[in-house]
Copies of this chain bind each other. A is one copy, B any other.
Amino acid sequence: MSLIATPQTMQFKQALQLKGGGVLQEYQLTFETYGELNAQKDNAVLICHALNASHHVAGTYEGVSKSEGWWDNMIGPGKPVDTERFFVIGINNPGSCFGSTGPMHTNPASGNIYGADFPVVTVEDWVDAQARLLDALGIEVLAAVMGGSLGGMQALSWSLQYPERVKHAIVIASAPNLNAENIAFNEVARRAIVTDPDFHDGHFYVHNVVPKRGLRIARMLGHITYLSDDVMNTKFGRMLQSGEDFKYSTLDIEFQIESYLRYQGDKFSEYFDANTYLLITRALDYFDPAKAYANDLSAALARAKAKFLLVSFTTDWRFAPSRSREIVQALISNKCDVSYAEIDAPHGHDAFLLDDKRYLNVVRSFFQQIKNNSGEPQ
């Protein structure tokens, strides 16, 4: 059985104060829901997205082929997050370019497109915005909040910002903050975008151009960090794009990996917004719940009351298992209820989006153990 997804949009007139000092006087949030909210309103699961994703988490758009949501293997009827039991919400964050208010929208204060004037947003701001959507939907407590990578940071932050509103938090392929190498890769991507002559200080929209060169480089670079060395060697190795002999050219494509990266970069530059890329990579850089606790992660997580599931993947060198283990240790030191699975998967950071039976079964088991008050199977 396949889900049909329908995006919805909700307007918010109450100003959202942002951690960085800015404010969104009014904004809209785009979201999708799957399954039914039960009478007790206690079966809601919120899914938080990562850098390149959106509210379109599961199902397909009616009549649109290949329109599966980005976590469609995880969420749906009979799937690990079972929409026959749970009411699942996919939400797009402010600052994104997929529907919620972002840099491509009009700044009501000026009447112009926000562009680079869109205020800096943080993981904490996104969680605040998500909480308001739940308020509007009449959902006081989440059965679970869940995300991978940057989405996992949001799930973790939920458990700290709204500890009473989160029963379970599922944090996948994530980290308690970015390390220097993570920040470094983000910075190279940002510099590629910002120094593209078509960036025009972030106000390229009025020039009718898009800094595609920068976006391409950012995405090519991103892809390298999403894949493991192993899977790159298995999938591409030194295979040539055509024939068995080199063409001997500095400009032409020789290797299949080059073709793959160029294709991914070109595709991305056609649909992703450059200012959104800057904002989201900065939100990644800034996330650091331990910062206000003298870098003591254990102290930072002391507020958490949720039951946790952490999952990491052995070949993920972007957010290595050691980073997940830091969170696990800090939760254990607070006597939190935490399960942790380290999946021996070859696919690197990307593994959190892929089909891996052990991984999907870990999530399935965790959700099967989530009790609700509706008398359904435990």
Binding site for B on A (CB under 8 A): 19-22, 116, 120, 177-181, 183-185, 187-188, 190-192, 194-197, 202, 213, 216-217, 220-221, 223-224, 227, 229, 232-233, 235-238, 246, 248-251, 254-255, 257-258, 261-262, 265, 275, 278-279, 282, 285-286, 288
Contact = CB atoms under 8 A, between A and B. Distances in A.
Contacts of A235: 180
A181, A232, A254, A278, most chain B CB atoms within 10 A: A181
A187 B120 contact: no
A233 B188 contact: no
A202 to B, nearest CB: 8
A132 to B, nearest CB: 21
Contact of A217 (B177, B188, B254, B261): B188
Contact of A248 (B20, B187, B227, B251): B20
Which 3 pairs between the two chains have the least Cβ-Cβ distance?
A20-B248, A180-B232, A250-B278
A192 B179 contact: no
A196 B195 CA distance: 9
B220 A187 contact: yes
A interface: dominant SS: helix
B192 A217 contact: yes
- This protein's copies in its complex: 2
Contact of A188 (B221, B237, B249): B221
18 contacts: A20-B248, A21-B248, A179-B232, A179-B238, A181-B224, A181-B229, A181-B232, A181-B233, A188-B220, A188-B224, A196-B213, A217-B217, A238-B288, A248-B286, A250-B278, A250-B279, A250-B282, A255-B285
B120 A183 contact: no
B216 A261 contact: no
Contact of A220 (B22, B116, B191): B191
Nearest to A223: B184
A254 B288 CA distance: 14
Given A180-B238, A220-B191, A120 B249 contact: yes
A217 B215 CA distance: 13
Contacts of A120: 248-250
Contacts of A233: 179-181
A219 to B, nearest CB: 10
Contacts of A224: 181, 184-185, 188
Nearest to A18: B248
A251 B194 contact: yes
B238 A183 contact: yes
Contacts of A188: 217, 220-221, 224, 261
A268 B183 CA distance: 21
B195 A216 contact: yes
A116, A177, A248, most chain B CB atoms within 10 A: A248
Contacts of A179: 229, 232-233, 237-238
Nearest to A178: B238
A183, A197, A282, most chain B CB atoms within 10 A: A183
A136 to B, nearest CB: 27
Contact of A177 (B190, B232, B238, B278): B238
Given A116-B250, A183-B238, A187-B257, 11 more contacts: A19-B248, A22-B248, A180-B235, A180-B257, A181-B224, A191-B216, A192-B192, A195-B213, A248-B286, A250-B278, A254-B285
